[in-house]
């Protein structure tokens, strides 16, 4: 896409329509009663007769060759029905699919094939053997009887160390990929991304002021409360039925179809109610192994991860080391930026740097830049999508550097950002132009907010210091395929049928859209999400795409139903359809408004006469992305003696385009902010030198509790998106993006310590304060000699602008980019 | 969780008889807030569990002048926190017990369990050691008493012998002109575990000098530690800001911290300095009335 002429695909929904009745209302969640009364069925809540329990043996080593596995005692244990190792996978898949499989196909360094270790383990806790037995206790006993002999290998868990030419190789067959080609010798540097524009060296050399810093974030977990759970059943007709906690049941169907090499018609997937996903359940975890256990055992198998398994061996967000240099004029105008972002993607390639760069630098006009990204393998679990993937990391680096620049120049952090903020038509680091956006409006909302306008308060706690920080964030917006049916009942009510998973209250917002367009009361709309055999197709829920894309499908389906109802009414009125008017549940003939029928009367008659009952359908395959921006103001209190930090107040301004349900928007924003506070203050994986995770539990993996959550005031800014209905934008991802940086900037404001690594609560604050007193500068990052990497072409790549890929191969599906692609196209 | 045997005796005598009969490999359950997590999350499943939940006569919290405060080993943290005598006479116990877990944990968990779990970071341990508490331990051979200061032998290890159960915690009568204070550092506001903690307890003589000082450090050694050098520095002297600073520095050298997922050695030493100074200052203020 090279022009700023951007197509709109939904033209029937003028964004400035202001006469909405249901849109914009704070209605209660449709599924709320089921959830609070414990009736909702989550992943582990379904059982089948004769069901077995599956468990997996974790590797005690972060890197080791599997010398031998003795399964004899486990297999002999009464009650054990299946025992599977990585070496068994090709054979079982070959039997299921009746194809000839080469075992080598399963011996590739692929996230999607990372189901059981084979030949070697590459991270601590990696599953090595899976068993199915009649009770969980017998399954655990069987695991205890398995004897695995390992030959430990040198371990690397630090991404900078992993980049050294002499570092232990995590994978033997990963070769550095660049825009210009692929290296020929294996390396831990899986991918190098280079984006540039103009002459950055000259721009920075000529800058009147420069700042630079090296920023580090920790590997963090999505922290969904519901651990992954799955139930798989194989029936004699060759079909598999899967119940699972997932963000996308069609994604699981497509993923399993690719993995098992069988057509989708042999697979039926039912997504359960979901207890949080945040990107992590967009990729498969238990489904492949649970399916293979069920097939091997000949009985249904249920698996449910423990909390420690969730933390050790699912897909957390990558930690990052980010070096940033900014050059500007004394008025704050940015002239150039140079950045090197190192992403610890874990033991398998994937993830990607571009998202962090686009989220970090995307909000600002930078005339000359060079952004280098390195995806680096380490002996840690594969990383994956976590709410605005790679956005919080990138924003932590860039927004911290901007805060340093504002202080150096003595100008307000909001003024600095307003001076450089992108507008419609400006291009992001991947050279894609922005459509209409509301970034400046979020900055202005904070600038005009009473908290920003009032003098800084002092702490009520003796000795504690209070500070304020600002940071911004961007999420490019999610798109993809969605479809919905709207069934009109004989009483004029409506049921929406969709195959999309509701992560955050979208059932309610969908019902609001249908009620609005059908002009019937919200209470007369219900929504169901049946399995993949029953529901129309949907891409997984992720990337803040659902309200936008499924909302478009529901909008179209409701209008389709209304149009059909009008046609049915015209049959009863015995007049042409275009002479029938409709409003608020009543049809009438325009020439004689006394001739009226209610929507219920039309639906009831249509059920047995004329063209028959009404089902509206709506589908959407590709909308223009609707970028969402956020600006947050965070107030903290710091105990300068212990380094303790408490976030006491947050004002979060966000362009939501149009708030379908303001309460739902605020819930999303508050949830994102609290997760961002976790990144900022207390969350982070801690590994020892042997690569063992030291904190695989919620005691020492410290997510915020209710007591750590401050008052969070949400300011909903509504700059309508140019595509989709009502001007709506995705809301879920972006609120997490600014928070870590805003907290760190507030800490600096409080205690004059510039904390450059997360999580920051405690010792990092003490060290930063001491550095600032003694003038120690830790901003210089050592860049290692990267060895023989082919140098990529240094111009920005052509934006692909392609249709979203469908998940046909398990590895495609497991690459989280399908679910939540951070780029703006 | 792997299979285990579960015993729920109705009396202390029955409980110790089961422990004698079944022998090694058992664990005693009071509230279960530590034990069950260890069994479920860490897979450390004992051969058998003896629950004290049905033993009625271990949940008392009583105070009698001359006999001190007696806390039954099955009394919940909430029983202790809400007891009027404890609130009036032993505020430092209320302060520390109120930090353990959440309200739900406090309703189920016990002071006895917090002690017997023998975590170096247990919140109730430093104040009870500082106050000179005595533990009454029972076996089928009868009771014995042991100062709590001698109870902890390592992380998760205690002086409890095979077949022994903690029955009561006895805290001496409050002393006139005494004061105590406990503080810990945790990254989260609450529902967290101490990175380091300190309890200070002082008694002042009529001339204003310190006649007795106890400073107990948590989470900076294999067991709660006596800061003996710091204590010695205080006794016989009139407390001053300088003296408190010096004692806090001495406490840092008494500490034996390690680096782990909760904090580095150097940060823990830094915290001990701050926490000792703060708790000593408050303890002295409160002793001065």
Task: Give the DSSP per-residue string, B251-286.
Answer: HHHH-----BTTB-HHHHHHHHHHHHHHHHHHHHHH
Asked if the model's pLDDT at residue A407 lies above 80, the reply is yes
- A188 belongs to a structural domain: no
* Residues of chain A positioned with their CB less than 8 A from the CB of B270: 763, 766
Question: What's residue A103's pLDDT?
Answer: 78
Alpha helix segments (H runs only) across A191-286: 200-205, 249-260
Confidence bin at A820 (pLDDT 50/70/90)? very low
Facing residue for B41 by CB, picked from A697, A708, A762: A697
What's the rounded Cα separation, in Å, for the pair A609 and A603? 10
Q: Please compute the mean of the pLDDT values over residues B93-104 and round it to a whole number.
A: 95
pLDDT digits (tens, 9 = 90+) for A184-223: 999 999 999 999 999 999 999 999 999 999 999 999 999 9
- State whether residue B151 sits within 8 Å of chain A by CB: no
Query: What does the block give as tokens for B166?
Result: 């903690």
What's the rounded Cα separation, in Å, for the pair A221 and A278? 10
Q: Please compute the mean of the pLDDT values over residues A745-766 and round it to a whole number.
A: 97
Instruction: Pick the last residue of a domain from A313, A345, A365.
Output: A313
Question: What's residue A320's pLDDT?
Answer: 96
Task: Give the DSSP per-residue string, A582-621.
Answer: EETTEEEETTEEEEEEEHHHHHHHHTTSTT---EEEEEES
Q: Which of A226, A733, A811, A816 is catalytic?
A: A733
What's the rounded Cα separation, in Å, for the pair A202 and A509? 50
Confidence bin at A333 (pLDDT 50/70/90)? very high
Q: Please compute the mean of the pLDDT values over residues A384-406 and round it to a whole number.
A: 97
Q: Exposed, middle or buried, A101 (CB in 10 Å: 0-12/13-18/19+)?
A: middle
- State whether residue B270 sits within 8 Å of chain A by CB: yes
Nearest chain B residue to A689 by CA distance is: B260
Contact A738, A443 (CB under 8 A): no
What's the rounded Cα separation, in Å, for the pair A431 and A425? 11
User: CA angle at residue A537 from A534 to A542, to 5 degrees?
Assistant: 125
From residue A65, give the alpha-carbon distance in Å to each of A111, A219, A313, B22: 19, 25, 18, 42
Backbone angles phi, psi at A663, to 5 degrees: -65, -40
- State whether residue B47 sits within 8 Å of chain A by CB: no
What's the rounded Cα separation, in Å, for the pair A736 and B158? 45
Q: Cβ–Cβ of A644/B185 closer than 8 Å?
A: yes
Q: Exposed, middle or buried, B256 (CB in 10 Å: 0-12/13-18/19+)?
A: middle
Contact A661, A25 (CB under 8 A): yes
Asked if the model's pLDDT at residue A813 lies above 60, the reply is no
CATH number of the domain within which A260 lies: 3.90.1170.50
Instruction: Pick the last residue of a domain from A594, A620, A646.
Output: A620
Q: Cβ–Cβ of B264/A763 closer than 8 Å?
A: yes
Q: Which of A639, A642, A703 to mutate to test the interface with B (most CBs of B within 10 A)?
A: A642
Question: What's residue A776's pLDDT?
Answer: 84
Nearest CA distance, A683 vs chain B (angstrom): 10
Q: Give CA torsion, residues B31, B34, B36, B38, to 10 deg.
A: -160
CATH 3.30.390.50 maps onto chain B at 178-288
Q: Token match 């304020």: residue?
A: A468
A-B CB pairs within 8 A amount to 63
Q: Please compute the mean of the pLDDT values over residues A314-330 and round it to a whole number.
A: 96
Long-range contacts of B29-32 (CB under 8 A, 24+ apart): B29/B53, B30/B73, B30/B74, B30/B109, B30/B110, B30/B112, B30/B113, B30/B116, B31/B74, B31/B76, B31/B77, B31/B105, B31/B108, B31/B109, B31/B110, B31/B113, B32/B108, B32/B113
Query: What does the block give as tokens for A501?
Result: 């998973």
- A674 belongs to a structural domain: yes
Show Cβ contacts of residue A450 under 8 Å, excluding neighbours closer than 6 positions: none
CATH number of the domain within which A684 lies: 3.30.365.10
Show Cβ contacts of residue A270 under 8 Å, excluding neighbours closer than 6 positions: A46, A241, A242, A243, A244, A249, A530, A531, A532
From residue A667, give the alpha-carbon distance in Å to each of A33, A662, A731: 17, 9, 10
- State whether residue B189 sits within 8 Å of chain A by CB: yes
Rounded to the nearest 10 degrees, the angle between the axes of helix A739-751 and helix A662-681 is 60
Tell me how long chain A is: 825
Q: Token match 């993995």: residue?
A: A259
- State whether residue B192 sits within 8 Å of chain A by CB: yes
* Secondary structure class of A218 (helix, strand, coil): coil
Confidence bin at A398 (pLDDT 50/70/90)? very high
Handedness of CA A563, A569, A571, A573 (dihedral sign): negative
Nearest chain B residue to A305 by CA distance is: B41
Query: What does the block give as tokens for A483?
Result: 């479809």
Q: What percent of chain A has pLDDT over 70?
A: 92
- A25 belongs to a structural domain: no
Residues A394 and A500 in one domain: no
Question: What's residue A787's pLDDT?
Answer: 44
- A216 belongs to a structural domain: no
Confidence bin at A356 (pLDDT 50/70/90)? confident
Query: What does the block give as tokens for B58?
Result: 């271990």
- State whether residue B260 sits within 8 Å of chain A by CB: yes
Helix/strand/coil (H, E, C) string of A632-692? EEEEEEECCCCCCEEEEEEEEEEECCCCCCHHHHHHHHHHHHHHHHHHHHCCCCCECCCCC
pLDDT digits (tens, 9 = 90+) for B11-53: 999 999 999 999 999 999 999 999 998 898 777 899 999 999 9
Asked if the model's pLDDT at residue A2 lies above 60, the reply is no
Contact A632, A673 (CB under 8 A): yes
Asked if the model's pLDDT at residue A805 lies above 80, the reply is no
Architecture of the CATH domain B178-288: 2-Layer Sandwich (3.30)
Please provide the average confidence, as pLDDT, over all residues in chain A: 91
Q: Please compute the mean of the pLDDT values over residues A85-103 and round it to a whole number.
A: 91
- Name the strands in the sheet holding B178-185, side by side, starting at the edge strand that comes first in the sequence: B178-185, B196-204, B210-218, B225-226
What's the rounded Cα separation, in Å, for the pair A799 and A9? 20
Residues A680 and A765 in one domain: yes
Facing residue for B193 by CB, picked from A699, A761, A763: A699
Segment among A624-633, A753-762, A787-796, B258-267 with least mean pLDDT: A787-796
Residues A384 and A495 in one domain: no
* Secondary structure class of A393 (helix, strand, coil): helix
Catalytic, A490? Answer no
Q: Give CA torsion, residues B242, B243, B249, B254, to 10 deg.
A: 180
Q: Please compute the mean of the pLDDT values over residues A355-379 and round it to a whole number.
A: 94
CATH 3.30.465.10 maps onto chain B at 56-171
- The number of folded domains in chain A is 3
Nearest CA distance, A675 vs chain B (angstrom): 14
Asked if the model's pLDDT at residue A795 lies above 70, the reply is no
* Residues of chain B positioned with their CB less than 8 A from the CB of A705: 188-191
Question: What's residue A354's pLDDT?
Answer: 80
Asked if the model's pLDDT at residue B131 lies above 50, the reply is yes
What's the rounded Cα separation, in Å, for the pair A652 and A632? 4
What's the rounded Cα separation, in Å, for the pair B187 and A414? 30
Nearest partner of B160 among B218, B216, B117, judged by Cα: B117
Asked if the model's pLDDT at residue A525 lies above 60, the reply is yes
**Which residues on adjacent β-strands are paired with residue A364?**
A421
- A212 belongs to a structural domain: no
Please enumerate residues of A whose Cβ is less than 8 A from a Cβ of B: 136-137, 140-141, 144, 306-308, 641-644, 646, 681-682, 686, 694-695, 697, 699-700, 702, 704-705, 707-708, 759, 761-763, 766
Residues A638 and A589 in one domain: no
From residue A297, give the alpha-carbon distance in Å to each of A53, A235, A264, A795: 11, 12, 22, 54
CB atoms within 10 A of CB B243: 16
- A825 belongs to a structural domain: no
B56-171: CATH topology is 3.30.465
Q: Please compute the mean of the pLDDT values over residues A3-20 and round it to a whole number.
A: 49
pLDDT digits (tens, 9 = 90+) for A556-576: 999 999 999 999 999 999 999
Asked if the model's pLDDT at residue A465 lies above 70, the reply is yes
Backbone angles phi, psi at A589, to 5 degrees: -85, 130
> How remote is the C-alpha of A648 from its chain's centroid?
27
What's the rounded Cα separation, in Å, for the pair A213 and A197? 21
Long-range contacts of A794-799 (CB under 8 A, 24+ apart): A794/A194, A794/A196, A794/A370, A795/A196, A796/A195, A796/A196, A796/A197, A796/A429, A796/A430, A796/A431, A797/A179, A797/A195, A797/A430, A799/A1, A799/A430, A799/A431, A799/A432, A799/A823, A799/A825
Q: Cβ–Cβ of B188/A682 closer than 8 Å?
A: yes
- Full residue range of the structural domain in which residue A568 is found: 32-40+480-620
What's the rounded Cα separation, in Å, for the pair B196 and B251? 12
- Considering just the CA atoms, what is the radius of gyration of chain B in Å? 19
pLDDT digits (tens, 9 = 90+) for A567-605: 999 999 999 999 999 999 999 999 999 999 999 999 999
Q: Cβ–Cβ of A705/B263 closer than 8 Å?
A: no
Asked if the model's pLDDT at residue A17 lies above 80, the reply is no
Question: What's residue A796's pLDDT?
Answer: 36
Segment among A97-111, A251-265, A524-538, B82-96 with least mean pLDDT: A97-111
Helices (H) and strands (E) in chain A, counts: 21, 28
Question: What's residue B269's pLDDT?
Answer: 97
* Higher-confidence position of A180 and B282: B282
Confidence bin at A812 (pLDDT 50/70/90)? very low
Question: What's residue B13's pLDDT?
Answer: 95
From residue A696, give the alpha-carbon distance in Å to each of A306, A314, B119, B275: 10, 12, 18, 28
- A354 belongs to a structural domain: yes
Nearest chain A residue to B277 by CA distance is: A641
Nearest CA distance, A697 vs chain B (angstrom): 8
Nearest partner of A45 among A225, A273, A300, judged by Cα: A273
* Secondary structure class of B24 (helix, strand, coil): coil
What's the rounded Cα separation, in Å, for the pair A236 and B60? 62
CATH 3.30.43.10 maps onto chain B at 5-51
ipTM of the complex: 0.95
Query: What does the block give as tokens for A531?
Result: 């399995």
Q: Cβ–Cβ of B188/A707 closer than 8 Å?
A: yes
Residues A349 and A427 in one domain: yes
What's the rounded Cα separation, in Å, for the pair A281 and A228? 8
Contact A728, A620 (CB under 8 A): no
Question: What's residue A779's pLDDT?
Answer: 63
| Parallel, antiparallel or unpaired: strands A120-121 and A368-377 | unpaired
* Residues of chain A positioned with their CB less than 8 A from the CB of B190: 705, 707
- A767 belongs to a structural domain: yes
Residues A111 and A251 in one domain: yes
Q: Cβ–Cβ of A681/B262 closer than 8 Å?
A: no
Decide yes or no: CATH 3.40.50.2300 for domain B5-51.
no
Instruction: Pick the last residue of a domain from A293, A313, A333.
Output: A313
What's the rounded Cα separation, in Å, for the pair A114 and A142? 22
Handedness of CA A299, A300, A304, A309 (dihedral sign): positive
């Amino acid at each position: 896409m090279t022009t700023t002429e951007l197509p709109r695909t939904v033209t029937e929904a003028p964004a400035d329509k202001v006469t909405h009745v249901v849109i914009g209302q704070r209605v209660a969640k449709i599924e709320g009663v089921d959830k609070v009364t414990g009736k909702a069925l989550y992943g582990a809540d379904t059982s089948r007769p004769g069901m077995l329990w599956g468990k997996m043996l974790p590797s005690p080593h972060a890197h080791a060759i599997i010398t031998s596995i003795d399964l004899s005692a486990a297999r002999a244990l009464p009650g054990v029905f299946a025992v599977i190792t990585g070496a068994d996978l090709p054979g079982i898949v070959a039997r299921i699919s009746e194809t000839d499989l080469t075992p080598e196909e399963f011996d590739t360094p692929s996230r999607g094939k990372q189901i059981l270790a084979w030949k070697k383990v590459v991270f601590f806790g990696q599953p090595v053997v899976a068993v199915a037995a009649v009770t969980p206790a017998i399954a655990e006993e069987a695991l205890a009887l398995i004897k695995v002999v390992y030959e430990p290998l040198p371990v690397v868990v630090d991404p900078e160390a992993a980049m050294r030419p002499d570092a232990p190789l995590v994978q033997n067959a990963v070769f550095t990929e660049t825009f210009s080609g692929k290296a020929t010798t294996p390396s831990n540097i899986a991918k190098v991304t280079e984006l540039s524009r103009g002459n950055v060296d000259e721009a920075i050399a000529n800058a009147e002021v420069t700042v630079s810093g090296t920023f580090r974030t920790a590997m963090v977990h999505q922290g969904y409360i519901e651990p992954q759970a799955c139930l798989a059943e194989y029936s004699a007709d060759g079909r598999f039925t899967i119940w699972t906690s997932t963000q996308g049941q069609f994604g699981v169907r497509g993923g399993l179809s690719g993995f098992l090499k069988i057509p989708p018609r042999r697979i039926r997937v039912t997504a359960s109610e979901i207890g949080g996903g945040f990107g992590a359940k967009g990729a498969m975890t238990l489904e492949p192994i649970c399916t293979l256990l069920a097939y091997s055992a000949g009985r249904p198998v249920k698996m449910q991860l423990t909390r420690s398994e969730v933390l050790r061996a699912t897909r957390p967000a990558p930690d990052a080391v980010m070096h940033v240099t900014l050059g500007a004029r004394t008025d704050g105008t940015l002239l150039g930026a140079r950045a090197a972002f190192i992403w610890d993607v874990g033991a398998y390639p994937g993830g990607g740097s571009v998202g962090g760069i686009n989220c970090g630098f995307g909000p600002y006009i930078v005339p000359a830049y060079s952004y280098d990204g390195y995806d680096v393998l380490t002996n840690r679990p594969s990383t994956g999508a976590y709410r605005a993937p790679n956005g919080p990391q990138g924003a932590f680096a860039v927004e911290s550097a901007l805060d340093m620049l504002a202080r150096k120049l003595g100008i307000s952090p909001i003024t600095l950002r307003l001076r450089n903020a992108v507008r419609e038509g400006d291009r992001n680091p991947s050279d894609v132009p922005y459509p209409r956006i509301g970034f400046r409006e979020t900055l202005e909302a904070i600038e005009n907010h009473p908290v920003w306008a009032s003098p800084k308060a002092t702490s009520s706690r003796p000795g504690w210091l209070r500070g304020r920080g600002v940071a911004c964030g961007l999420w490019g917006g999610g798109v993809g395929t969605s479809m919905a049916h709207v069934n009109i009942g004989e009483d004029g009510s409506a049921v929406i049928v969709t195959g999309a998973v509701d992560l955050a209250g979208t059932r309610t917002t969908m019902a609001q859209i249908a009620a609005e367009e059908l002009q019937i009361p919200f209470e007369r709309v219900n929504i169901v999400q049946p399995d993949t055999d029953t529901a129309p197709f949907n891409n997984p829920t992720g990337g803040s795409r659902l309200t936008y894309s499924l909302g478009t499908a529901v909008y179209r389906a409701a209008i389709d139903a209304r149009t059909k109802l009008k046609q049915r009414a015209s049959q009863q009125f015995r007049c042409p359809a275009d002479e029938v008017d409709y409003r608020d549940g009543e049809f009438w003939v325009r020439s004689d408004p006394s001739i009226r029928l209610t929507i219920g009367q039309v639906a009831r008659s249509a059920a047995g006469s004329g063209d028959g009952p009404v089902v509206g359908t709506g589908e959407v395959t590709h909308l223009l992305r609707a970028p969402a921006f956020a600006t947050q103001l965070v107030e903290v209190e710091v105990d300068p003696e212990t380094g303790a930090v408490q976030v006491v107040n947050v004002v979060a301004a966000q362009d939501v385009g149009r708030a379908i349900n303001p309460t739902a928007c605020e819930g999303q924003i508050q949830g994102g902010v609290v997760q961002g506070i976790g990144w900022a203050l207390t969350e982070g994986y801690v590994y020892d030198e042997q690569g063992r995770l030291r904190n695989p539990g919620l005691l020492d993996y410290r997510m915020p509790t209710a007591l750590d959550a401050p008052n969070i005031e949400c300011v909903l800014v509504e700059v309508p998106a140019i595509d989709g209905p009502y001007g709506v934008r995705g809301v879920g991802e972006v609120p997490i993006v600014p928070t870590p940086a805003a907290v760190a900037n507030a800490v600096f404001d409080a205690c004059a310590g510039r904390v450059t690594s997360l999580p920051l609560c405690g010792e990092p604050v003490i060290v930063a304060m001491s550095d600032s007193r003694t003038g120690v500068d830790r901003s210089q990052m050592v860049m290692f000699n990267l060895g023989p990497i082919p140098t990529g072409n240094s111009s920005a790549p052509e934006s692909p602008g392609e249709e979203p890929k469908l998940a046909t191969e398990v590895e495609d599906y497991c690459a989280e980019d399908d679910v939540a692609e951070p780029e703006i196209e | 969780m792997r299979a285990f045997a579960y015993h729920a005796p109705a009396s202390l005598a029955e409980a110790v008889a089961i422990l004698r009969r079944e022998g090694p490999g058992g664990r005693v359950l009071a509230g279960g807030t530590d034990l069950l997590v260890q069994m479920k999350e860490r897979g450390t499943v004992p051969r058998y569990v003896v629950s004290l939940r049905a033993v009625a006569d271990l949940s008392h919290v009583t105070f009698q002048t001359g006999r001190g405060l007696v806390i039954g080993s099955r009394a919940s943290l909430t029983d202790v926190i809400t007891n009027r005598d404890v609130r009036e006479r032993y505020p430092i116990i209320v302060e520390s017990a109120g930090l353990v877990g959440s309200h739900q944990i406090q309703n189920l968990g016990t002071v006895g369990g917090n002690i017997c779990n023998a975590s170096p970071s247990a919140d109730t341990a430093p104040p009870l050691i500082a106050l000179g508490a005595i533990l009454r331990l029972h076996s089928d051979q009868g009771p014995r008493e042991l100062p709590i200061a001698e109870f902890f032998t390592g992380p998760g290890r205690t002086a409890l012998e095979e077949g022994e159960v903690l029955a009561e915690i006895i805290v001496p009568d409050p002393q006139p002109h005494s004061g105590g204070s406990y503080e810990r550092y945790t990254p989260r506001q609450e529902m967290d575990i101490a990175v380091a903690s300190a309890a200070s307890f002082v008694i002042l003589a009529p001339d204003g000098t310190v006649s007795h000082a106890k400073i107990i450090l948590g989470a900076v050694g294999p067991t709660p530690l006596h800061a003996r050098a710091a204590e010695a520095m205080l006794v016989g002297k009139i407390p001053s800001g300088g003296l408190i600073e010096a004692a806090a520095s001495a406490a840092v050298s008494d500490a034996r911290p390690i680096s782990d997922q909760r904090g580095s050695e150097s940060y823990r030493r830094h915290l001990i300095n701050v926490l000792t100074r703060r708790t000593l200052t408050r303890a002295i203020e409160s002793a001065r009335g």
